[in-house]
Chains A and B, each alone.
Chain A
């Protein structure tokens, strides 16, 4: 497989994952805003902007954090190169560039999703339609993953596509978790209050994990349980342990017939092994924030190593 094609597949799925996660983040924000008074809603929207990494760009244009401004900025603002619309365009552009490495089915669902979304985002998104747009984005991801699972050859291309998804997903989960710890809680005195648990609920919703978590924990919402769930539970498809354990499988399969050891394979082995041995106690001992920053750095190094090992560029 061409290095450029591998790169295209990897980024096609990174952008798809990022767009989907952004939609989930928005969905969680929307729900929180509906259940709070205006002021707290403002705080929720601010945190959504922050989690999306859009604080600076947003402040340059807007003075207030109203829902309609926030979701239009995130979904379709022309000046926002990280908007959902821009990301989905990247998904399609990458898919076009690697068309002969993906199945016809996958291409068609990506193309159709893009057409629908492009159409839905032609005009500003109103309160009445924001839910539909979010559903469209999530559906785009579901369709693409489904088409891939059902029709793509399990060869290098599949592994690069999966690697893109998992690297991005791990980063997103870590970022949302970190954001909660540092930004949402005004001060430590809130720990354990209804506001606190409401925000943890927000975090779970952002990764579509609220139902799974409740199922596993019989409704007990506490920081330890949630960190255990989002970082270490290999059953949850957005946990860090799940992402890196699967990523290890993809990278092992890619490097199977290589004579020399590859940097990316070494890095993922170490990370997956570490997450496998870790306990929640150890994470809190190190400090959740410190742990997450270290994890995100390691995740980024793995992505870079994949790009070097498989000649994505030159």
Chain B
């Protein structure tokens, strides 16, 4: 009985915390739109961000597009690597392959963002600068750093999905005379596809919200980049750079909260996507 009350209390507290957080971000985020300081359309699609100018403009499109760009690129780079790693651990060499890869993947997820950012700045940026056009700092560097950061998420979800596949499905395939490659490509991957996609979406959610590591290598110029090797910004990098320097309640500060609101709504979209994929998964 005591345990039950305690548990109910914890759950209630959690709900109160979540609801008040959503309320807080939403109320701050819409302040600029409610008092007429900024139009919603101007905020979402305006490309000019100059909050300190005499006639300030708060166009957040460069940041929204920057967030989507690095997130999609990171997912494109990380997904094939992760899916191969998961297949390697579960289907190709379940013995020593899993023993070797599992701890490495877990290690990757435990490294703090600032370390990823610093490694990106010290290794990836000079490499890009010396081999490709541009200064190294930019969208490509951000996407590469992010792709390493989301590898563990996608790999572990994909590996779990592959491991939970019914054994008889594979055995039937082998019994029909299919090779291991045919089994993987025609049976295993198609049946686990929704579950693997769940991992990809979770990885994208992580990439979309990541702030520090990206901020260090992407350059943070408030413009839509013209190439992958040019400086750009994400929603999170602008929020972290600006939040401490602006005073609460100023239009600029409220504009940053509006960006936080956009991030939160995007998280809802990602959660919704995962839910839909899970439903498809139950066959």
Does B bind A? no
Chain A residues at the B interface, C-beta cutoff of 8 Å: none
